[in-house]
Copies of this chain bind each other. A is one copy, B any other.
Amino acid sequence: MKLLVVNPNISTGVTELIRAEAIRSASEGTEITALTADFGVAYIETRFEAMVGAYATAEKVAANVAGHDAVVVAAFGDPGLAALREVLQVPVTGMTEASLACACQLGSRFSIVSISPRMRGWYLDTVHAYHLSGRLASFRSLNEPLKDVVTVQEEQGERLIELANRCVREDGADVIVLAGAPLAGLARTIKHLLPAPVVDGVSSAIQQAEMLARLRPEKAREGSYASPPQKLNKGLSLSMRALIVANS
């Protein structure tokens, strides 16, 4: 099985974190293609950055999806996920969607632990979009500006564990979701230190992508996830156009 994993932001360091955890998480025989967006910002914390990341991810997926069995959008907030689901012939999932799917099978309520307070509002919107606000126990985050997204795990590990503990003890979480690609792999390291199960965006997304690839669902031919009806277009890259045409 071949999985295409696209990092919607431009940090190749984060892509390496994602790739490493993706390889650790994948089943034997699964190959990982991990790519970085060609344009955008260093780290996605806002709806505007996610909008840019969505387009950059779509471009990258369009140009590289051939030969893959499933696609992973590797940023929390899942930029471009629903859009790609309409046009791809193979399944696609994202870090938030997949980690929530995992978390919901480990307990009734989950908390999200994040590296930046700025993400709070946007993540709440994202959880609402998946209809799971009623299962969100709390959102907690570091509240200082990040020095470096690549080294946040080492520098803030202790503090993140403390936040996770408070989610369980004060907020009633049954499961902890470590949000954000820069935390890729942390769940694996700290899980025995926490009072409740912990899930991680990258490993969840790899697992769910493999699952979707194994189910081999038919591409929707009707309904709101069928390919868009053919129509005039303008100014799109060749691969984006091919994506639309191939699907119609």
A interface residues (Cβ-Cβ under 8 A, vs B): 10, 25, 27, 38-43, 45-52, 54-56, 58, 80, 82-87, 91, 93, 97-98, 101-102, 104-109, 118, 120-122, 124-125, 128-135, 145, 168-169, 172-174, 191-192, 194-199, 203-204, 207-208, 210-212, 214-215, 217-226, 228-229, 231-236, 240, 244
With a cutoff of 8 Å between Cβ atoms, the chain B residues found around residue A199 in the complex are 215, 217
With a cutoff of 8 Å between Cβ atoms, the chain B residues found around residue A223 in the complex are 107, 121, 168, 172-174, 195-196
B198–A218 touching, CB < 8 Å: yes
Partner of A105, one of B38, B91, B109, B231: B91
Q: How far is the CA of A74 from the CA of B208 in the complex (A)?
A: 20
With a cutoff of 8 Å between Cβ atoms, the chain B residues found around residue A42 in the complex are 231-233
10 new A-B contacts, CB < 8 A, other than A42-B231, A50-B83, are A10-B234, A51-B54, A54-B55, A85-B106, A102-B212, A118-B228, A131-B135, A191-B218, A207-B211, A211-B211
With a cutoff of 8 Å between Cβ atoms, the chain B residues found around residue A83 in the complex are 46-48, 50-51
Instruction: Please give the distance in Å from A44's CB to the nearest CB on chain B.
Output: 9
- Sort A-B residue pairs by CB-CB distance and give the 6 closest, nearest first: A121-B224, A39-B235, A195-B222, A197-B217, A51-B83, A42-B232
With a cutoff of 8 Å between Cβ atoms, the chain B residues found around residue A191 in the complex are 217-218
Q: How far is the CA of A1 from the CA of B139 in the complex (A)?
A: 34
